[in-house]
Structure 1
Amino acid sequence: MQQIFNFIFKNSNRLLFLLLLGISLALTIQSHSFHRSKIISSANFLSGGVYEKANNINEYLNLRTQNDALALENANLKSLLFNKKDTTQIKKLDSLKGVKPSDIIVSKVIHNSYNVYENYLTLNSGELQGVKPDMGVINSLGIVGIVDNTSAHYATVISILNKKSLINAKIKKSDHFGSLTWDGKSTGYVQLIDVPRLATIRKGDTIVTGGQSVIFPENINIGTIERIYTDEETHYYKIEVKLFNDMTNLGHVYIIKSKNREELINLEKREKDE
């Protein structure tokens, strides 16, 4: 307390000057509308700047929540897209490829390998969320892989950049089918093999998932044709496909429940046994 009194006594002249200056400014502002408007404008500018900075910080801190909300919204939009009817074709009774919002599980990639021959991803969703082996995994750009194993809260996925991966795919323009594989060379390319030579194909044509798969809905994007070869042994086309996805940078993904998969497999197995 004594130090405070000493400070006031030592700086009494300065403090008196500041007090009188403050009183004079207040009287000036109150008696002149021009000065008052300038002060208010300056105060609004300063407070607006502070609020803007605070809002920017708040938005940054809420990015994760916003991303999760956008992922859920995208899942609902994708379910509508998958179920959109093609009015140029005869209505089909087969609902195997139908995807409802309840058939989509939103998840996130928490680990991703892409620099070995057998690459896997880990997702932060598991059995408690309804994830099971052999479910297809996609994102907004195309296919990502197939669920391999699950635990209560996590799932591992066989990446399309895996030499064991084999997915039914087709040329969108001509509907000619083949098998999608990976030769282990580049993270940006996969190969479509066993495409018949009678298929009319060109560089730039789009490759999508085929209708023979019960893992992926039909017509999910994969990539575009980059190069075309002829396999000397099989005499079928071998196509180099440039992926739409950057498989080295994956975030939110969508796990698609395999509708009626077990029923179809059992039916096909029974047919072979007979």
Structure 2
Amino acid sequence: MLDRLLRWKVPLIILLVLILVGTIHYTSVPRREISKLEGLWRDMLSPFQWTVSKVGGFFQNQVAEINRWRGLKERNDELEERVVQLEAEVFTLRNYRRENEWLREALDFRDEGNHALLVAEVIGRSPSNWESTIVVNKGQSHGVVSGMAVVTNAGIVGTVINSSSYTSTVLLIVDAQSATGGLVQSSGDLVLVEGGQMDQGTLLARPLSRDTSVEVGDVIVTSGLSRIYPKNLPIGEVVAVESRQYDLSFAAVVQPFVDFTRLEYVLIVMPQGES
């Protein structure tokens, strides 16, 4: 029996190949009708084809979604990095604009006055509650020495109390150790302007004569009687008048024109011919 099958092996293979070739040729030609066997075969395969198609479509959609999400994440990272760069640029431009505005005002202030002025940047502040000082980036190598007046375009700031080659310490007028000769701009009456109210950021103006009259709203300027501050530099505005010693004297509370909490640049009053 086995021998018979082996003898018919080759003819059977040839027959199967011919049937397969014929079937392929027959089904590859476009026809309006198909055979029942072919239709049955197609119907049997259709559920599997539908399943394979759906599964393949699902995985294709998932891969496409993953690629889309990855692309969006990369784009979002690029945009976030760009936003950080733009914020840094905006911050820098704002600083430049603020500095330019201040330097322009300082230049106008220098042109209006007859004083030689040296621009200095504030690089430090005193951490002590007992002393109000700032440190600026100009010193002896720039011609700065103790006793020089420090101002801004808004008004007087203080006095240089010591200096190194490249830095100087400035005692602010709100410090308790500070005293400045001033006068009431409207009347010309002399007053002594003292610090000591650092917590309130105000000054005290005391009269130097019984006939001195000060009212709320009066502007106090430098008297020019000292060797430190030139005359008529703004100091501040009277915001209150307090009676002292049974109304025989008074002290005027003066709000400085300079905002000491926001000092970035100052002007050092130099001897004539230096700047």
TM bucket normalised to smaller? 0.5 to 0.7
Aligned residue for 1:146, secondary structure, equals strand
Task: Give the superposition deviation at 1:177.
Answer: 1.0
Matched, 1:81 2:112: yes
Task: Give the superposition deviation at 1:64.
Answer: 4.1
- 1:207 aligned to 220, 223, 241, which one? 220
Output the CA distance in 2 between the equivalents of 1:75 and 1:230: 38
CA-based RMSD:
3.6
In the other structure, the counterpart of 1:254 is 267
* Unpaired segments ≥5 residues, structure 2: 1-59, 61-81
Output the CA distance in 2 between the equivalents of 1:129 and 1:53: 39
Task: Give the superposition deviation at 1:60.
Answer: 2.9
Output the CA distance in 1 between the equivalents of 2:127 and 2:209: 30
- 2:174 aligned to 139, 161, 164, which one? 161
Change (3 A) 1:69 1:246: closer
Output the CA distance in 1 between the equivalents of 2:128 and 2:157: 15
TM-score by length of 2: 0.61
Q: Number of residue pairs matched?
A: 203
Output the CA distance in 1 between the equivalents of 2:84 and 2:132: 43
Output the CA distance in 2 between the equivalents of 1:131 and 1:214: 15
In the other structure, the counterpart of 1:172 is 185
Change (3 A) 1:63 1:125: farther
- 1:218 aligned to 209, 221, 231, which one? 231
Percent identity reads 24
* Unpaired segments ≥5 residues, structure 1: 1-13, 15-50, 83-97, 261-274
Cα displacement string for residues 116-135 of structure 1 (whole angstroms, at most 9, x for unaligned residues): 23221111111222222111
Change (3 A) 1:108 1:233: farther
Output the CA distance in 1 between the equivalents of 2:96 and 2:166: 20
TM-score by length of 1: 0.62
Please tell me the residue identity of whatever aligns with 2:144.
V
Q: How does 1:49-128 map to 2 (within 5 A)?
A: 57-82=88-113, 98-99=114-115, 103-113=116-126, 116-128=129-141
Change (3 A) 1:259 1:181: farther
Cα displacement string for residues 124-177 of structure 1 (whole angstroms, at most 9, x for unaligned residues): 111222222111111232211101111111100111121111111111111111
Rg larger for: 2
